[in-house]
A and B are shown apart, each in its own frame.
Chain A
Amino acid sequence: MNIIKEYMQLDKIEGPLIVLSGVDNAAYDEIVEIKTNSGTKHGKVVQLHNDKAIVQVFETTSGMSVKDVSVRFTGSPLEINLSKDILGRVFNGIGEPIDDGGEIFGGVKMDVNGRPINPVARRYPRNFIQTGISAIDGLTTLIRGQKLPIFSGNGLPHNQIAAQIVRQAKISEEEGQDFAVVFAAMGVKHDDAHYFLKAFEESGVLERVVMFLNLADDPVVERIITPRCALTAAEYLAFNHNMHILVIMTDITSYCEALREISSAREEVPGRKGYPGYLYSDLASLYERAGMMEDSSGSITQIPILTMPNDDITHPIPDLTGYITEGQIVLSREIFQRNIYPPINILPSLSRLMKDGIGEGYTRDDHPAVSSQVFSSYSRVQEVIALSQVIGEDELSDIDKKYLEFGKAFEEKFLKQDFDENRNINETLELAWEILSILPKSELDRIDSKTIDAHYRG
């Protein structure tokens, strides 16, 4: 039998890392329990060298001393206990219950790191989710099983948009198929967490929400675990219980900052802007946990939210996210300042999966051409605006004036909608035709004449 050894002394404490020596039988990635005067903390083994182990501690190491500790290796990776009872419950950032519902009993233990889904075991997502938001449904359609992040900035209404999606989205269409929302907060303010709580309550889904909260004043390193706990819960519900799961993860930027902190404590060679070279792989280990699988009728749809530092889309966090996710919904401060909700800049926004989930048999046959035309015409609007700023609006040619008119109508009629306005896909497409009809037929070069004749107004 293995006698579980306790180690009573550390060599070193350095930021979130502790170093021990004289260790034997420790396993890479295993979880370590650290008893200190101020309670029990957890960590995981991130490097082993002969008898030395480097352990990354999830909670804060401040107040810890190299004596007065007792360290125990648990022999397993971080696992959380899951059963259907997690619905309606609130957990902290490392998956411990923090509401008054007590422990989860009788469930299954699952490793929070998950494992990569075998591509041959995936089902390609093709089902349209109506969110009731025109800019999304019409132009960057959300598909069940997709990972579609919101690229936002500080102070922009990303939380409202996410809340509106939770309230309006038809995640599950079939009768009797369960759905749930898994919510992971990383470093968010109490206000924001509270906002979501209230929003879930008002949408009447609270008892179908599982929350994992690491708030702004919670330990930074714990944030690395939070989305993993949430996604493990999502996988459990989706693939063990065939439920349709919407995962909201916010704020990915705080998550990445935590990674950077650990990486610099480990003195790793930094990549861009000090973020570790493996940021791409690490983010992929979260985002790739969306999808659908062969032996299950459930699904995981992810809406990660990130705030772009300085509103810069080329910053490594949005950049690497965009390289992994299946599109992005980009919010614009400029549109927001013009008092338009939702302030979505459609040009850099994209849904890569919409191609297989819209059109005849899915939404409406004119949908692909209409959306392509709106993108193309709205991008022309930007050129006209730039020109009008140089030569003045009056000097514009007639056709350019039409484009300006189209641009205004697009923003005021199509894009803009109320926080509780729920438009169905037909209404959205009809609105699109209404604004496209401002332009002469000959400008609609992305739509075939038959479709134009069927829908063009005037």
Chain B
Amino acid sequence: MDKIQGIITYINGPVIKAKNMEMFKMREMVTVGEKRLIGEIISIDGDIGTVQVYEETTGLKIGEKIDSTGKPLSVKLGPGIIGNIFDGIQRPLNFIYEKSGGFISEGIGLASIDLTKKWDVTVLVKEGDTVKEGSVFATVKETPLITHKLMIPPGINGKIVYAEKNGTYDLEEVLLKIDDGKTVHDIKMYQEWPVRTPRPVKERMPIEKPLITGQRVIDTFFPVAKGGTAAIPGGFGTGKTMTQHQLAKWSDADIIVYIGCGERGNEMTEVLEDFPKLIDPNSNLPLMNRTILIANTSNMPVAAREASIYTGITIAEYFRDMGYNVAIMADSTSRWAEALREISGRLEEMPAEEGYPAYLPSRLAEFYERAGYVTTLGDDEASVTIIGAVSPAGGDFSEPVTQNTKRFVGAFLGLDKKLAYARHYPAINWLSSYSGYLASLNSWYRNNVSEDMMNLRGEMLRVLQEESKLLEIVKLVGEDVLPDEQRLILEIAKLIKIGYLQQNAYHKDDTYVPLNKQYRMLKVIKLFYEHANEVIKKGIPISKIKSSQLYNDILKMKYSIPNDYKDEFDNFENQIITYFDSLIEAYEG
């Protein structure tokens, strides 16, 4: 019998309709037309099916055929993912480059990881063993940094009736046969998984550990948790991408999945050029060894932009299932929402707010829900952390994507235009940002940094809040009329803002600062504040404090004291104490 084919009756950009589709399945992957473009069925109504196409439809004609692939839009998960760069439907961009040159053409066909590549496999099980879903049966050293654990795919449990020995295999070779009592399953080095379905876990666990990023304003003031979610909204040029790149470079995740979703081509090229040269502070190996890139740039087909988010999160979940802590960055989720809007518009669906479809909030929720700290099927503790950039229209946070994202994320790192204009980077606004993880992370900070870390944080944040109130007054009357105690608050706030919150991503040491240095820096500021306060209470004028060399030294301690400091902070603290003691002595004496 001939395969059933759909017949195209309607073409409107990435959205096409076809008749004769009653045998097709919702969300099935199909090939479209003579060029065999890749598409996905997004609705079926009687015998009419609607397909979103992941490649340009230029040249497509009415009457061309649609073929079933028999499976939903899926990714192939196995060795060869790390260090690679894929398009929105997991086709390696290097493969596309080889096939179509520097410019991407349509009709490339399906491709994913290289199935013919051979890997050294260490097999951990033998014939007769009983295995269950999610358990690790073999390992492959995928990069010098990452051991790729080959797992029994979800849903398969049983007895091994055949097992290969250690050796070199390609991805298509059968390594195990498992008899589950009804069927015998062939297990290879890779598994396939539909991108829109979350991969199962054993159970979700409470959040307790921070994702350490080396960025002071995040780690100290608005921490993101491993397994948590964060949004970085901001107008153009405020630093979303820079912040995401900083997190991709320095955060203490085992695996990074970076999705360039509808953003600039050069930003992906930058990662490709820089990451192989950057050294991970934890492992001393190039960062590319733990990084996976997904790129659907702004000028690539819009439907694949929609898919890229799911491709990314599915890959992240797969590495989580091996027991790794994975962090995923999506830049920008607004472009994904706009892709939803564009497709929805072409489907002539009823728009809700600002033309976005009514299902925008539920799609956002589903995405962020795929983050979490979990026990895997293989009984490991692991996590997926999601950090999404949001690009609000007009820089206005009241628009639907920002507002709906805010409902579903745990930390909100709002970027501020005014700070960016003054080149205060990272331009994270300390008054409007928040982290909902403070309470859950409190004891971690207590046990791993210092008893008083979170208290210090609170005090310094209060200084900043106080400053903002005082600045309202200063705007009307000038600084000179404030009493010295209040002027001191302004000066301390300046120390915090310039000396602490500002962090130069281009400075070789300041780009990443370990937690203990963050803590010591904060303590220095606190110490200075306490002593200065005492001195002012004694009536010593504030000019003595501002003009002291120490004040300037604090502003620059981030550069002058190395990350692997020895006694520099102790000395600094002693200097502060000595300076103020002698100031009081001179004044009283």
Binding site for B on A (CB under 8 A): 24-30, 46-51, 77, 113-125, 239, 268-272, 277-278, 280-281, 284-285, 288-289, 291, 293-295, 314-316, 319, 322-324, 326-328, 347-348, 350, 352-353, 355-356, 368, 372, 375-376, 379-380, 383, 386-387, 390-391, 395-397, 400, 442, 445-446, 448-449
Q: Are A319 and B393 in contact, with the CB atoms below 8 A?
A: yes
- As a 0/1 sequence over residues 263 to 305 of chain B, the CB contacts with chain A under 8 angstroms (1 = contact) are 0111011101100000000000000000000010111101000
Question: Which residue of A is nearest B96, CB measured?
Answer: A118
| Known contacts A272-B354, A280-B298: A121-B102 contact under CB 8 Å | yes
Asked if B181 is an interface residue, CB under 8 A from chain A, the answer is no
For A390, the chain B residues whose CB sits under 8 A away are 475-477
For A49, the chain B residues whose CB sits under 8 A away are 9-11, 62
Docked pose: A252 CA to B94 CA in angstroms:
34
Nearest Cβ on chain B to A315's Cβ, whole angstroms: 8
For B173, the chain A residues whose CB sits under 8 A away are none
- As a 0/1 sequence over residues 478 to 492 of chain B, the CB contacts with chain A under 8 angstroms (1 = contact) are 111000000000000
Q: Which of B12, B265, B355, B552 contacts A122 (CB 8 A)?
A: B265
Q: Are A391 and B477 in contact, with the CB atoms below 8 A?
A: yes
Question: Which residue of B is nearest A23, CB measured?
Answer: B62
| Known contacts A284-B298, A368-B506, A390-B476: A324-B264 contact under CB 8 Å | yes
For A383, the chain B residues whose CB sits under 8 A away are 475
Q: Are A115 and B475 in contact, with the CB atoms below 8 A?
A: no
For B355, the chain A residues whose CB sits under 8 A away are 269-271, 277
Q: Are B59 and A122 in contact, with the CB atoms below 8 A?
A: no
Q: Are A117 and B265 in contact, with the CB atoms below 8 A?
A: yes
Docked pose: A355 CA to B9 CA in angstroms:
51
For B547, the chain A residues whose CB sits under 8 A away are 442
Q: Are A295 and B102 in contact, with the CB atoms below 8 A?
A: yes
Q: Which of B103, B300, B338 contacts A114 (CB 8 A)?
A: B103
For B266, the chain A residues whose CB sits under 8 A away are 119, 122, 124-125, 291, 326, 353
- As a 0/1 sequence over residues 306 to 322 of chain B, the CB contacts with chain A under 8 angstroms (1 = contact) are 00000000000000000
Q: Are A28 and B335 in contact, with the CB atoms below 8 A?
A: no
Most A CB contacts (10 A, CB to CB) among B59, B264, B273 go to B264
Q: Are B269 and A269 in contact, with the CB atoms below 8 A?
A: no
Q: Are B338 and A386 in contact, with the CB atoms below 8 A?
A: no
Q: Are B474 and A387 in contact, with the CB atoms below 8 A?
A: yes
Asked if B509 is an interface residue, CB under 8 A from chain A, the answer is no
For A271, the chain B residues whose CB sits under 8 A away are 341, 354-355
For B12, the chain A residues whose CB sits under 8 A away are 46-48
| Known contacts A291-B265, A319-B394: A350-B57 contact under CB 8 Å | no
Q: Which of B60, B94, B338, B393 contacts A120 (CB 8 A)?
A: B94
For A293, the chain B residues whose CB sits under 8 A away are 102
Q: Are A50 and B10 in contact, with the CB atoms below 8 A?
A: yes
For B1, the chain A residues whose CB sits under 8 A away are none
Docked pose: A414 CA to B10 CA in angstroms:
59
| Known contacts A270-B355, A277-B345, A288-B265: A24-B101 contact under CB 8 Å | no
Q: Are A117 and B396 in contact, with the CB atoms below 8 A?
A: no
Q: Are A277 and B478 in contact, with the CB atoms below 8 A?
A: no
Q: Are A379 and B421 in contact, with the CB atoms below 8 A?
A: yes
Asked if B562 is an interface residue, CB under 8 A from chain A, the answer is no
Q: Which of A77, A288, A348 contacts B299 (CB 8 A)?
A: A288
Docked pose: A277 CA to B60 CA in angstroms:
23
Nearest Cβ on chain B to A385's Cβ, whole angstroms: 12
Docked pose: A397 CA to B546 CA in angstroms:
15
Asked if B141 is an interface residue, CB under 8 A from chain A, the answer is no
For B394, the chain A residues whose CB sits under 8 A away are 272, 314-316, 319
| Known contacts A24-B62, A280-B298, A445-B555: A352-B237 contact under CB 8 Å | yes
Most A CB contacts (10 A, CB to CB) among B60, B104, B272, B299 go to B299
| Known contacts A123-B269, A288-B298: A323-B104 contact under CB 8 Å | no
Question: Which residue of B is nearest A348, CB measured?
Answer: B421
Question: Which residue of B is nearest A290, CB measured?
Answer: B266
Most A CB contacts (10 A, CB to CB) among B58, B59, B480 go to B58
Q: Are A28 and B424 in contact, with the CB atoms below 8 A?
A: no
For A122, the chain B residues whose CB sits under 8 A away are 265-266, 268-269
Q: Are A326 and B58 in contact, with the CB atoms below 8 A?
A: no
Asked if B408 is an interface residue, CB under 8 A from chain A, the answer is no
For A125, the chain B residues whose CB sits under 8 A away are 266
Question: Which residue of A is nearest B274, CB measured?
Answer: A124
| 20 residue pairs from A and B, CB less than 8 Å apart | A27-B60, A77-B58, A113-B58, A115-B105, A117-B103, A119-B85, A120-B272, A121-B97, A269-B348, A277-B355, A285-B299, A319-B393, A324-B264, A353-B266, A355-B506, A368-B506, A387-B474, A390-B475, A390-B476, A391-B476
For B446, the chain A residues whose CB sits under 8 A away are none
| Known contacts A284-B298, A291-B266, A395-B478: A115-B61 contact under CB 8 Å | no
For B376, the chain A residues whose CB sits under 8 A away are none
Asked if B219 is an interface residue, CB under 8 A from chain A, the answer is no
| Known contacts A323-B391, A324-B298: A397-B480 contact under CB 8 Å | yes
Docked pose: A449 CA to B552 CA in angstroms:
10
- As a 0/1 sequence over residues 498 to 533 of chain B, the CB contacts with chain A under 8 angstroms (1 = contact) are 100000001000000000000000000000000000
Q: Are B299 and A116 in contact, with the CB atoms below 8 A?
A: yes
Nearest Cβ on chain A to B363's Cβ, whole angstroms: 16
Q: Which of A25, A119, A355 contacts B269 (CB 8 A)?
A: A119
Q: Are B11 and A48 in contact, with the CB atoms below 8 A?
A: yes
Docked pose: A115 CA to B300 CA in angstroms:
8
For A117, the chain B residues whose CB sits under 8 A away are 102-104, 265
Extra A-B contacts (6), CB below 8 Å, given A281-B299, A390-B475, A449-B556: A122-B266, A124-B270, A124-B273, A284-B297, A291-B266, A375-B422
Docked pose: A416 CA to B350 CA in angstroms:
53
For A449, the chain B residues whose CB sits under 8 A away are 556
Nearest Cβ on chain B to A109's Cβ, whole angstroms: 15
Most B CB contacts (10 A, CB to CB) among A117, A125, A270, A295 go to A117
B383-400: which residues lie under 8 A (CB-CB) from chain A? 391, 393-396
Q: Are A119 and B341 in contact, with the CB atoms below 8 A?
A: no
Q: Which of A46, A120, A326 contacts B264 (CB 8 A)?
A: A326
Nearest Cβ on chain B to A46's Cβ, whole angstroms: 8
| Known contacts A113-B58, A281-B342, A391-B478: A319-B102 contact under CB 8 Å | no
For B299, the chain A residues whose CB sits under 8 A away are 116, 281, 284-285, 288-289
Q: Are A120 and B475 in contact, with the CB atoms below 8 A?
A: no
Q: Which of A50, A116, A278, A396 contacts B104 (CB 8 A)?
A: A116
Nearest Cβ on chain A to B35's Cβ, whole angstroms: 11
Nearest Cβ on chain B to A138's Cβ, whole angstroms: 13
Q: Are B422 and A379 in contact, with the CB atoms below 8 A?
A: yes
Nearest Cβ on chain A to B55's Cβ, whole angstroms: 11
Docked pose: A294 CA to B391 CA in angstroms:
30
For A270, the chain B residues whose CB sits under 8 A away are 355
For A368, the chain B residues whose CB sits under 8 A away are 506
B21-66: which residues lie under 8 A (CB-CB) from chain A? 56-63
For B480, the chain A residues whose CB sits under 8 A away are 397
Asked if B93 is an interface residue, CB under 8 A from chain A, the answer is yes
Asked if B538 is an interface residue, CB under 8 A from chain A, the answer is no
Q: Are A316 and B393 in contact, with the CB atoms below 8 A?
A: yes
For A116, the chain B residues whose CB sits under 8 A away are 103-104, 265, 297, 299-300
For B391, the chain A residues whose CB sits under 8 A away are 323
Q: Are A272 and B422 in contact, with the CB atoms below 8 A?
A: no
For B506, the chain A residues whose CB sits under 8 A away are 355, 368
Docked pose: A123 CA to B559 CA in angstroms:
32
Nearest Cβ on chain B to A265's Cβ, whole angstroms: 15
Nearest Cβ on chain B to A368's Cβ, whole angstroms: 7
Q: Are B102 and A28 in contact, with the CB atoms below 8 A?
A: no
Nearest Cβ on chain B to A271's Cβ, whole angstroms: 5
| Known contacts A124-B269, A277-B341, A445-B555: A119-B61 contact under CB 8 Å | no
For A291, the chain B residues whose CB sits under 8 A away are 265-266
| Known contacts A293-B102, A323-B236: A376-B423 contact under CB 8 Å | yes
Docked pose: A272 CA to B338 CA in angstroms:
12
Question: Which residue of A is nearest B271, CB measured?
Answer: A119
Question: Which residue of B is nearest A75, CB measured?
Answer: B59
